[in-house]
């Protein structure tokens, strides 16, 4: 084997110096250097790995794939341990790493390239055969590593300087754009978009604080995709809103005014936008307050990987001047918005109030007042209240000239009195005619500011109150109309109340009468039951005392006949028995007549009453007439006929007992399915109301008549007055209307 030459370290360093002087990048220097390394050290594998911030690795070198894997493994170990590794023979290690049965590398030397305490690169030489002299490679490789470290540091510093300039340029551009806007949303949107476009952050969100509603709301969010495309997150996904006392991290930063950098999931995050289970534990979220003095105006939020945390924190720190500008712009925009709102409110108030302001320097000269008016906005005044202005007149002079004469005298007197009384203000209203001839009402508020003896500043505010006066007139007319309606309605209600009171009184009276009638009905029923009991007792007594005795005598006589021994005695006894039998029969007939009058049974109620009236006329020596409009009688049910007879009979009995009448008349007429009976006399009469209002005992007869007819669907009425006789009306249904048949008197004649 030919003897290998010792590596030319000086040549290596000159090569690096030449590449560096040509302002090649570190990556280009390493790519060119690896071929020189392979040649100088006679090694088939030469690898230089550049390690950036975090975990990024760029490998530059030569060699087969399996040997490269072996070199990468040693480089990673060296980067972690920060020490040089020398392996002369790697049969087992190579076999284990490559997974191949045939060793692919036997000798490996890896040297770290340091920048301070950090390993920023590694240099690895490897050969497929054992190289006992590989330990001699360490010194030249470490010398090369020191020189390469300086080159990489310079390259990194230049890159950082370029990055810093780029970021600062972006900040300057963003600051100018932000300060040029007076709209809060535009300021936040511009900042977020431009920061992401400049590559300062991969994403950026702004939440604006609203002190008026005590909340913080996400206003803008921008994101850079892996392909470099920058897009705005849709508002419906970002317009989250939190109360300032909410536990959400955004609200907490507003309260504390301190930045928060949170690695992994935190319960203060909004679960609507982040999922706890799938949240990357290596993700860092940053929440930065944007403050003006001690007040937090907004919260800026971004995120990164853990490996980039130091870089992001440095960029956040470098953004402080820009955030100060953003805070100033936000404060200015907020003040501008409030001022604009105030101006709009004031303008709307002035336009809505429709007023004109004037000012005058007033001086007293003897008994006269000199009013020196200051210039005013004549055009605005004329637009508000157009008046006829003559040549040389001001608008105010024209307006005062157009006022009502009586109002003018009153106004001048009020001004004199107010100044003399040292009043500070007064108010008056007057009428004026505009240039179109329409009458206008003007209200004038006058404010007086004394300037010394006999001198005042006077300010007046003229307001067109024509619409108000017109509305007042309309309201006054409406009030008068409403008052008239109320009065009419009140009268109607009073009348209705009076009617209701009358109806209530009538109802109360009727209820009382019904209650009294019910009581009388109950008393009448008791009286009827009592009379029925008395009648039964009398009938029983009659049957016992007379009929029973007659029948007993008849029985004794029959027993005597059984013992008679001669025909003469039998005949004599039969005569006695016949007389006893006739007497008993007469008593039975009398009782039967009393229970149901025989004439009614045989002839009907009309014929029975006709006969009864004839008997009364003969016995009392008075005139008694009966008239019926039907000669063949009336089709009355048996119970109706009996009830009618007893009512008429009771009326005739009352006439005989109480009326002292000379003439009696009974009339029967059939009308509309009912029989109408009238019983009339010319007796002394009585007060019906007094009797009906008196004790129930005094009107039992009338109540009995009424109750008797009511039981057969009939009714009765009485008309009478003292000295005017009495008329009794009775009405009962005809049998064909009440469903009851008339009894055939030709076959049922009774006893």
Of 3.40.630.40, 3.30.565.10, 3.40.50.2300, 3.30.2350.10, the CATH number of 597-738 is 3.30.565.10
% of the chain beyond a pLDDT of 90:
21
Nearest to 110 by CA among 91, 138, 129: 138
Name the packing angle between helices 9-21 and 138-179 (round to 10°).
Answer: 10
Between 626 and 631, name the one with better pLDDT: 626
CATH architecture of the domain 9-154 equals 2-Layer Sandwich (3.30)
3-state secondary structure of 299: strand
Give the model's confidence band at 546: pLDDT under 50 very low, under 70 low, under 90 confident, else very high. Answer: low
Give the model's confidence band at 363: pLDDT under 50 very low, under 70 low, under 90 confident, else very high. Answer: very high
Q: Are 46 and 28 in contact (CB under 8 A)?
A: no
pLDDT tens column, 376-405: 677 777 877 888 888 888 888 888 888 899
Query: Which residues make beta-bridge pairs with 134?
Result: none
Q: Report pLDDT for 96.
A: 42
Give the model's confidence band at 159: pLDDT under 50 very low, under 70 low, under 90 confident, else very high. Answer: low
pLDDT tens column, 69-109: 455 555 566 656 567 888 877 654 444 444 444 445 678 88
Interior angle at CA 125, CA 120 and CA 126, nearest 5: 135
* Sheet-wide strand order for 439-452: 368-373, 355-365, 455-464, 439-452, 425-433
The mean pLDDT of 333-341, rounded to a whole number, is 71
pLDDT tens column, 27-53: 777 777 777 788 888 888 888 888 764
Q: Are 725 and 681 in contact (CB under 8 A)?
A: yes
Candidate ranges 66-75, 138-147, 196-205; pick with highest mean pLDDT: 138-147
Query: Residue 549, Cα to own-chain centre: how many angstroms?
Result: 99
Q: Return d(Cα 458, Cα 456) in angstroms, integer.
A: 6
Q: Are 254 and 296 in contact (CB under 8 A)?
A: yes
Q: Are 238 and 328 in contact (CB under 8 A)?
A: no
Give the model's confidence band at 68: pLDDT under 50 very low, under 70 low, under 90 confident, else very high. Answer: very low
Q: Over 90: is that where the pLDDT of 595 sits?
A: no
> Tokens at residue 522, please?
């109950």
Q: Over 50: is that where the pLDDT of 59 sits?
A: no
> Tokens at residue 724, please?
């005017």
Q: Return d(Cα 127, Cα 1) in angstroms, integer.
A: 15
Give the model's confidence band at 328: pLDDT under 50 very low, under 70 low, under 90 confident, else very high. Answer: confident
Q: Return d(Cα 384, Cα 358) in angstroms, integer.
A: 14
pLDDT tens column, 652-705: 988 988 889 999 999 999 999 999 999 999 999 999 888 888 776 677 778 888
Q: Return d(Cα 198, Cα 204) in angstroms, integer.
A: 12
Q: Are 712 and 640 in contact (CB under 8 A)?
A: yes
Q: Return d(Cα 425, Cα 422) in angstroms, integer.
A: 9
Candidate ranges 26-35, 469-478, 545-554, 597-606; pick with highest mean pLDDT: 469-478
Average pLDDT of every residue of the chain = 79
Other Cβ atoms within 10 Å of 393 Cβ, number: 14
Q: Report pLDDT for 93.
A: 46
Pairing of strands 368-373, 57-61: unpaired
Range scoring the smallest mean pLDDT among 202-211, 313-322, 345-354, 625-634: 345-354
Half-sphere exposure of 275 (CA within 13 A, CB side): 2
pLDDT tens column, 443-486: 989 999 998 889 999 998 888 888 888 898 888 999 899 888 99
Query: 548 burial class (0-12, 13-18, 19+ CB within 10 angstroms)?
Result: middle
Q: Report pLDDT for 89.
A: 74
Give the model's confidence band at 594: pLDDT under 50 very low, under 70 low, under 90 confident, else very high. Answer: low
Q: Over 80: is that where the pLDDT of 537 sits?
A: no
Class of the domain covering 181-339: alpha beta
The mean pLDDT of 481-495, rounded to a whole number, is 90
Give the model's confidence band at 244: pLDDT under 50 very low, under 70 low, under 90 confident, else very high. Answer: very high
* Residue 751 neighbours by CB under 8 Å, 6+ apart: 588, 589, 592, 598
Q: Report pLDDT for 66.
A: 42
* Continuous segment of H or E residues that includes residue 69: helix 65-81
The mean pLDDT of 185-200, rounded to a whole number, is 74
* Residue 281 neighbours by CB under 8 Å, 6+ apart: 263, 264, 265
Query: Which residues make beta-bridge pairs with 444?
Result: 428, 462
Of 3.30.470.20, 3.30.450.20, 3.40.50.920, 1.10.510.10, the CATH number of 354-464 is 3.30.450.20
Q: Return d(Cα 440, Cα 469) in angstroms, integer.
A: 9
User: How does 661-695 read in b/e, with b if 16+ C-beta sit within 10 Å?
Assistant: beebbbebeeeeebbebbbbbbbebbebeeebeee
% of the chain beyond a pLDDT of 70:
77
447: which DSSP letter?
E
Return the percent helix, strand and coil in the chain, to nearest 5: 55, 25, 25
> Tokens at residue 482, please?
């409403």
Range scoring the smallest mean pLDDT among 260-274, 327-341, 382-396: 327-341
Interior angle at CA 211, CA 207 and CA 216, nearest 5: 25
* Residue whose pair of structure tokens reads 């029925």 in the numeric block: 532
Give the model's confidence band at 419: pLDDT under 50 very low, under 70 low, under 90 confident, else very high. Answer: very high
Give the model's confidence band at 165: pLDDT under 50 very low, under 70 low, under 90 confident, else very high. Answer: low
Pairing of strands 283-292, 260-263: antiparallel
Q: Report pLDDT for 91.
A: 59
pTM for the model: 0.38
* Continuous segment of H or E residues that includes residue 222: strand 215-224
Q: Report pLDDT for 74.
A: 58
Between 366 and 732, name the one with better pLDDT: 732
> Tokens at residue 606, please?
């009309």
Q: Return d(Cα 300, Cα 253) in angstroms, integer.
A: 10
Domain ranges of the chain: 9-154, 181-339, 354-464, 597-738
Q: Return d(Cα 624, Cα 618) in angstroms, integer.
A: 9
Q: Are 704 and 697 in contact (CB under 8 A)?
A: no
Nearest to 355 by CA among 336, 339, 376, 334: 376
Q: Over 80: is that where the pLDDT of 138 sits?
A: yes
Q: Report pLDDT for 418.
A: 94
Dihedral over Cα of 477, 479, 484, 489: its sign: positive
Query: Residue 651, Cα to own-chain centre: how many angstroms?
Result: 77
* Residue 553 neighbours by CB under 8 Å, 6+ apart: 577, 580
Nearest to 671 by CA among 630, 710, 715: 630
Fold agreement between 354-464 and 597-738 = no
The mean pLDDT of 729-733, rounded to a whole number, is 95
Q: Over 60: is that where the pLDDT of 201 sits?
A: yes
Q: Over 90: is that where the pLDDT of 285 sits?
A: yes
* Residue whose pair of structure tokens reads 């560096």 in the numeric block: 20
Q: Are 402 and 385 in contact (CB under 8 A)?
A: no
Range scoring the smallest mean pLDDT among 313-317, 323-327, 585-589: 585-589
Between 172 and 507, name the one with better pLDDT: 507
């Amino acid at each position: 084997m030919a003897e290998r030459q010792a590596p030319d370290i000086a040549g290596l360093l000159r090569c690096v110096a030449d590449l560096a002087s040509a302002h090649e990048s570190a990556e280009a220097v390493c790519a060119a250097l690896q071929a020189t390394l392979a040649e100088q050290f006679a090694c088939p594998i030469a690898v230089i790995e550049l390690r950036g911030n975090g975990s990024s690795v760029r490998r530059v070198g030569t060699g087969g794939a399996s040997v490269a894997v072996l070199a990468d493994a040693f480089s990673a170990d060296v980067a972690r341990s920060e020490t040089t590794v020398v392996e002369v023979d790697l049969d087992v290690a190579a076999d284990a790493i490559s997974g191949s049965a045939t060793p692919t590398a036997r000798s490996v030397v890896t040297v770290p390239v340091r920048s301070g305490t950090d390993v920023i690169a590694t240099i690895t030489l490897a050969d497929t055969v054992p190289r006992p002299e590989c330990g001699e490679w360490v010194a030249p490789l470490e010398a090369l590593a020191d020189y390469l470290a300086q080159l990489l540091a310079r390259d990194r510093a230049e890159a950082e300087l370029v990055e810093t300039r780029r970021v600062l340029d972006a900040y300057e551009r963003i600051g100018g754009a932000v300060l040029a806007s007076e709209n809060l949303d535009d300021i936040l949107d511009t900042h977020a978009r431009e920061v992401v476009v400049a590559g300062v952050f991969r994403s950026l969100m702004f939440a604006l604080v609203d002190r008026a509603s005590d909340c913080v709301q996400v206003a803008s969010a921008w994101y850079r995709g892996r392909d470099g495309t920058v897009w705005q997150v849709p508002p419906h996904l970002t317009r989250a809103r939190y109360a300032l006392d909410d536990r959400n991290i955004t609200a907490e930063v507003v309260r504390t005014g301190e930045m928060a950098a949170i690695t992994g999931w935190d319960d203060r995050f909004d679960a609507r936008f982040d999922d706890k289970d799938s949240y990357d534990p290596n993700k860092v979220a940053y929440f930065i307050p944007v403050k003006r003095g001690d007040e937090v105006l907004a919260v800026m939020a971004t995120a990164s990987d853990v490996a980039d945390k130091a870089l992001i924190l440095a960029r956040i720190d470098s953004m402080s001047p820009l955030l100060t500008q953003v805070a100033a712009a936000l404060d200015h925009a907020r003040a501008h918005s409030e001022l604009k709102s105030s101006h709009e409110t004031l303008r709307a108030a002035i336009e809505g109030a429709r007023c004109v302001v004037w000012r005058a320097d007033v001086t007293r000269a003897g008994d006269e007042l000199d009013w020196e008016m200051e210039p005013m906005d004549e055009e605005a005044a004329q637009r508000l209240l157009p008046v006829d202005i003559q040549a040389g007149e001001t608008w105010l002079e024209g307006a005062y000239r157009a006022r009502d004469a009586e109002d003018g005298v009153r106004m001048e007197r009020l001004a004199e009195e107010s100044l003399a009384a040292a009043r500070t203000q007064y108010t008056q209203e007057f009428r004026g005619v505009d240039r179109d001839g329409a009458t206008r009402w003007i209200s004038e508020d006058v404010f007086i500011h004394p300037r010394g003896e006999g001198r005042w500043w006077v300010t007046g505010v003229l307001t067109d109150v024509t619409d108000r006066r017109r509305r007042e007139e309309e309201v006054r007319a409406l009030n008068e109309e409403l008052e008239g309606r109320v009065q009419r309605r009140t009268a109607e209600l009073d009348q209705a109340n009076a009617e209701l009171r009358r109806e209530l009184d009538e109802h109360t009276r009727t209820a009382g009468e019904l209650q009294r009638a019910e009581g009388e009905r109950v008393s009448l029923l008791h009286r009827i039951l009592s009379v029925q009991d008395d009648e039964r007792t009398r009938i029983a007594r009659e049957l016992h005392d007379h009929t029973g005795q007659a029948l007993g005598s008849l029985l004794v006589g029959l027993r005597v006949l059984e013992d008679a021994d001669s025909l003469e005695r039998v005949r004599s006894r039969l005569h006695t028995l016949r007389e006893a039998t006739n007497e008993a029969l007469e008593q039975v007939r009398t009782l039967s007549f009393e229970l149901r009058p025989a004439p009614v049974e045989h002839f009907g109620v009309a014929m029975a009453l006709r006969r009864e009236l004839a008997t009364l006329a003969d016995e009392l020596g008075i005139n008694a007439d009966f008239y019926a409009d039907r000669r063949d009688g009336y089709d009355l049910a048996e119970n109706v006929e009996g009830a009618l007879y007893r009512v008429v009979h009771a009326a005739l009995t009352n006439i005989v007992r109480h009326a002292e009448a000379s003439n009696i008349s009974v009339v029967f007429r059939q009308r509309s399915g009912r029989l109408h009976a009238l019983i009339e006399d010319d007796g002394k009469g009585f007060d019906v109301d007094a009797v009906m209002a008196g004790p129930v005992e005094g009107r039992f007869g009338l109540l009995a008549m009424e109750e008797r007819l009511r039981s057969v669907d009939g009714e009765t009425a009485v008309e009478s007055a003292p000295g005017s006789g009495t008329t009794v009306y009775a009405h009962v249904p005809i049998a064909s209307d009440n469903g009851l048949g008339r009894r055939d008197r030709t076959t049922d004649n009774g006893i």
